[in-house]
């Protein structure tokens, strides 16, 4: 393996480790749920992404083959992390925030968390 490839893979591993430590530390230190929400969904996602990039580079530069496993894991990670954050935020809002404390939506309908779904009023 060339020196450049080793440095590149090592760089991504070190950066991903830093993001993982920062995300884990944020999850422990932050006090409220809405603050804790950012640590695992932002920093730790970038940390795992860095490990996956390092693994893809290793297989490409050392083994000479492209690994689709890491690509699929990355796709799954970046699709599920925002959904997890959304569900955590909605459950926090449902349990801790009153409907009158949220701002107006500016649309025809209010917050879906606090109101029933609109019914179809017109015949189409």
Question: What is the distance between the alpha carbons of residues 112 and 31, in angstroms, rounded to a whole number?
Answer: 27
Q: In this predicted model, what pLDDT tens digit does every residue of 29-51 receive, in sequence order? A: 888 888 888 777 788 788 888 99
Question: What is the distance between the alpha carbons of residues 60 and 2, in angstroms, rounded to a whole number?
Answer: 13
Q: What is the band of 55 on the pLDDT scale with cuts at 50, 70, 90?
A: very high
Which tokens belong to 94?
A: 């449902």
pTM (2 d.p.): 0.69
Report whether 23 contacts 42 (CB < 8 A): yes
Q: Which of 18, 80, 27, 82 is nearest to 54 (CA)?
A: 18
């Amino acid at each position: 393996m060339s020196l450049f490839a080793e440095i590149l893979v090592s760089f991504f591993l070190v950066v991903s480790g830093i993001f993982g430590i920062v995300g884990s530390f944020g999850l422990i230190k932050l006090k409220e749920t809405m603050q804790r929400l950012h640590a695992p969904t932002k920093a730790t996602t970038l940390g795992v992404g860095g490990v996956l990039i390092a693994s893809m580079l290793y297989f490409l530069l050392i083994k000479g083959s492209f690994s689709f496993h890491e690509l699929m894991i990355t796709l799954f990670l970046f699709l599920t992390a925002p959904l997890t954050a959304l569900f955590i935020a909605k459950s926090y809002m449902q349990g801790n925030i009153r409907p009158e404390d949220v701002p107006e939506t500016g649309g025809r309908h209010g917050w879906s968390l606090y109101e029933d779904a609109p019914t179809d009023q017109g015949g189409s």
